[in-house]
Structure 1
Amino acid sequence: MKKILFTISLTFLAGYAMAQETMSLGRCLQMGIERNLNLKTYEGNVLKGKHNVSENRSRLLPQINIGAGLNDNFTPPVSVTDGRAYGKPYNVTKTLQYNSSASIQLQMPLYSQTALTALEISKTLDQLNTLSYSKAKEDLIVQISKMYYLAQNTEEQIGIIKDNIKRLEELRDITQAFHDNDMALSVDVKRVNVNLENLSVQYDNAKAMLIQQYNMLKYVIDYPAEQDIVVEKANVEQIDMAALTGLNENLYELQLLRKQQTLAEQQKKLAKDGYLPTLALTGNWTYTSFTDKMKNWFHSGESNHWYKSNGIGVSLRIPVFDGFEKRSKIRKAQVDIDNAKLAYENALKGMQTQYANAVNDLANNQRNFAKQRDNYLLAEDIYKVTSDRYREGIASMTEVLQDEMSMSDAQNNYLTAHFNYQVSNLTILKLTGQLDRLMK
């Protein structure tokens, strides 16, 4: 029975291991760009902007409408004219009770600067939507990369804790053997067990943290929540450093601000265009009939005769006075232009400062990473020496545990320095426009 249960457990574990998918950073980024729900909202805005351009373009095309009507004038209107030609002071004519009409109407702008500027504004808004999508995609790349690095860091931390637990278990067995032979005190065994328990708590906390990190990563890239993933093992000895090529002034944040300034200038132009005349082509084809009884429409004769009324022409509209409405719009638009210029200048200087600080952080984190690596290797060597001396009965348990604690601190500092180095390098990649390197 035990053999059967053991076989079932191995089969389950094998299936669990096969169900886990090892995800590279490039794969996570690609999946996030394709699936992220928030990014899809920006894609929808891009599509909406293109429809908006088509809508504004349609206002420059001919507009054709077909109309029809049927009226029952149960109190027919009358018209009064001079009737002296007929020997009467007035000639009163009563309209027939029923009339119907059918018409086709045409209207097409021949010149409308307002409509042309509105079309240009819609194109600018479409470009803003595209830039917003690109910026959101860039922010998503940074977000996924940080989460991926953090998961790698936690995986490394768990691996180190497991190695430390294994070493302490060996040390506990040695100490227990010493105690059984009256070569060590019982308090030494307790000290090792306390440290082992602390490491066990650290291990459980790290595992719980890793599960949360993976859950968040799966959410961002829209990966099935019921399936397990694992990141690739981090190469803590090497980081693909970004080239310090200076701040890229074509970052999407800056492009957005420049495009917003363009939009404000177009809004001002739109207000000015309101002073210009508009010219439109008009045309109509109308047929009308009248009768005194509804049934007469179904019989031949004058009562069901349709009378044509067709024509074509142009209409001119010249704005003269609007109560200074357009003047106020122009002044408001100028304020928007000035604010857009200030926002761009402020953002550019802020990013220049951010780049300078990022370069400084990268150099500092690089130094810290190198120092912490050397410190970690040194602490590991010291612990090995102290552990060997303890086995030989030369060093005390206190010395071993102190060196073990120092080594554990050095390991954590080393991993933290590596993560900080990765994040600062990621910041440089973003500010210099090199994030595409992460997709490879």
Structure 2
Amino acid sequence: MNTLKRAILFFLYILPLITHGQDSVKTHYNLEECIALALKNNAEAQKSANSSQAASLDLKQAKAALLPTLSGSFDHNINTGFSTDPITNAIVSENITSGNQRLNTNMVLFNGLNLLRTIRQQAFAYKATQMDEQRIKDNLTMDVILAYLQVITAKDALEQYKQQRDVTKKQLERLAILNRDGAVAPGEYYDVKGQFSGDQITVLTGENTLRTNVIVLTRLLNIPYSQALSFEPINQLPDVSSASLSQEALYERAAASLGTLKAAQFWKESAEYQLKATRSLYFPTLSLGANLTSRYSNADENRGTYMDQIQDNLGKGAGLTLSIPILDGFRRRINVSRAKLELRNAEIDLENTENNLQQQTAQVLINLQTAKEKYLEIREQVEAYKESFRVAEVRFEAGDINSVEFLLQKTKYDQANISLVVAQYEWQLRQRIANYYNGQR
């Protein structure tokens, strides 16, 4: 009985926690939330951030190469039988315990400015990876906007499909009564019945399209797909009277705000310093070295304590080392040639990026203007077909036209409504893309 009571109390305690956990799962998102979630969760975005951190570490390592090196070593030996006295170098027959201590430091004084140029190379590479990270996030943002609008488009189109089906259903129910009473030709009834089946199929197809588009969006957000997911509609259309952007101004703002062109510029500058750093290896390297040594042995007749011997046997040294490259199998010359090729590739990438960005901004404005004009034309078409269908519906119910003429007018009106939904969100998409290139986040 006590066990049952404890189980009930445990259940009553854990149930609110389970319910709270279920309630905390977010299922409704707006566009801004989707963009933020994608930037946080998307695997490619996370990898780009890791690449930036790795480039930061490379820069730190290049700067640390200016610091002197410092190393120490310690050995301890035990010899039995005949061995060499480490103090007198005489052959003795006794157990000897000995050890050596060393401390070395080295610092490069000059190496043709290789270290400084390497730092500059890594600094520009770090900036380039940061811009690459921004470019990836920019592209991801645009992908999320496109996927989100496709979801909203599919959702609104599905509502249109259902409304069209309901209109057909209403006429089918009316004709079913008339057909049962023999007050209408059977062909009229079966034409509308066939149309109703087609509308049902269209609704099913629309539902599948909506689910597919939601899956595409969740893949970008890196969250599990669920039928409970819902997305906030975008009801506000762009301003019809908004001033048009010039292609030159849009290009300049895109170059300043997007990471694409900046990354190419930084990679080119990094390649320039890589070439300079590689050429500097032709110069001699001058370095300063110093060392501190000592030793210990129990065979020393005047030995004191361990620390006494360390102090008594202390040795110091310092010196300069000049290393002159003479022949190394043409490695330096080949590395310089490779660096020249990498610089040329970076220059080609920069030129190509500039041209692509100029073409993209021009295409963005063309697509925006076309989408705007298309929406306005389709909106007028919908108004015209709406009135035409209203008249056809009245005449069909009055028996003035047959089912073929009625369904023809209905099809025109239905297709115009769907086209209006698609055109509306295409205009939204093109406007948001233009805003993004214009530096508006």
Q: 1:62 to 1:315 in 2, by over 3 A?
A: same
Counterpart among 35, 53, 61 of residue 41 in structure 2: 35
Q: Distance in 2 between matches of 1:99 and 1:17?
A: 72
TM-score of the two chains, using structure 2 as the length reference: 0.81
The alpha carbon displacement at 1:224 in A equals: 4.5
Task: Write the deviation string for residues 268-300 of structure 1: whole angstroms up to 9, x where unpaired.
Answer: 1011111233333322111123466xxx89x86
Q: 1:400 to 1:18 in 2, by over 3 A?
A: farther
Task: Write the deviation string for residues 280-337 of structure 1: whole angstroms up to 9, x where unpaired.
Answer: 3322111123466xxx89x8699x9552222233333333443443233223322322
Instruction: Report sequence identity in percent.
Output: 15
Counterpart among 418, 426, 432 of residue 412 in structure 1: 418
Q: Distance in 1 between matches of 2:391 and 2:336?
A: 80
SS state at 1:249 partner: helix
The alpha carbon displacement at 1:201 in A equals: 1.2
> Superposition pairs for residues 415-430 of structure 1, below 5 Å?
415-430=421-436
Query: How many residues in Structure 1 have an aligned counterpart in Structure 2?
Result: 403
> 1:146 is matched with which residue?
146
Q: Which letter does structure 1 place at the counterpart of 2:29?
A: M
Counterpart among 251, 269, 272 of residue 265 in structure 1: 272
Q: Distance in 1 between matches of 2:130 and 2:405?
A: 63
> 1:157 is matched with which residue?
157
Counterpart among 254, 261, 269 of residue 254 in structure 1: 261
The alpha carbon displacement at 1:117 in A equals: 1.9
> Superposition pairs for residues 21-420 of structure 1, below 5 Å?
21-71=27-77, 99-112=98-111, 113-226=113-226, 228-235=228-235, 237-238=237-238, 243-244=245-246, 245-247=249-251, 248-250=254-256, 251-290=258-297, 305-306=309-310, 307-420=313-426
- The 10-residue stretch of structure 1 (333-342 or 151-160) with the greater mean CA deviation from structure 2: 333-342
Contact 1:156 1:234 in 2 (8 A): no
SS state at 1:106 partner: strand
Q: Distance in 1 between matches of 2:318 and 2:376?
A: 84
CA RMSD of aligned residues (A): 3.2
The alpha carbon displacement at 1:266 in A equals: 1.0
Contact 1:19 1:227 in 2 (8 A): no
Q: Which letter does structure 1 place at the counterpart of 2:179?
A: H
TM-score of the two chains, using structure 1 as the length reference: 0.82
Q: Which runs of 5+ in 1 are unaligned?
A: 1-15, 79-91
Contact 2:63 2:119 in 1 (8 A): yes
The alpha carbon displacement at 1:73 in A equals: 7.4
Contact 2:395 2:401 in 1 (8 A): yes
The alpha carbon displacement at 1:19 in A equals: 7.7
Q: Distance in 2 between matches of 1:40 and 1:405?
A: 48
> 1:6 is matched with which residue?
none
SS state at 1:282 partner: strand
Q: 1:158 to 1:347 in 2, by over 3 A?
A: same
Q: 1:142 to 1:239 in 2, by over 3 A?
A: farther
Q: 1:369 to 1:95 in 2, by over 3 A?
A: farther
Q: 1:20 to 1:388 in 2, by over 3 A?
A: farther
- The 10-residue stretch of structure 1 (387-396 or 276-285) with the greater mean CA deviation from structure 2: 276-285
Contact 2:121 2:269 in 1 (8 A): no
Q: Distance in 2 between matches of 1:339 and 1:357?
A: 26
The alpha carbon displacement at 1:140 in A equals: 0.7
The alpha carbon displacement at 1:99 in A equals: 4.3
SS state at 2:191 partner: helix
Q: 1:20 to 1:130 in 2, by over 3 A?
A: closer
The alpha carbon displacement at 1:133 in A equals: 0.8
The alpha carbon displacement at 1:229 in A equals: 2.5
Contact 1:20 1:230 in 2 (8 A): no
Contact 2:129 2:263 in 1 (8 A): no
The alpha carbon displacement at 1:238 in A equals: 4.0
- The 10-residue stretch of structure 1 (336-345 or 239-248) with the greater mean CA deviation from structure 2: 239-248
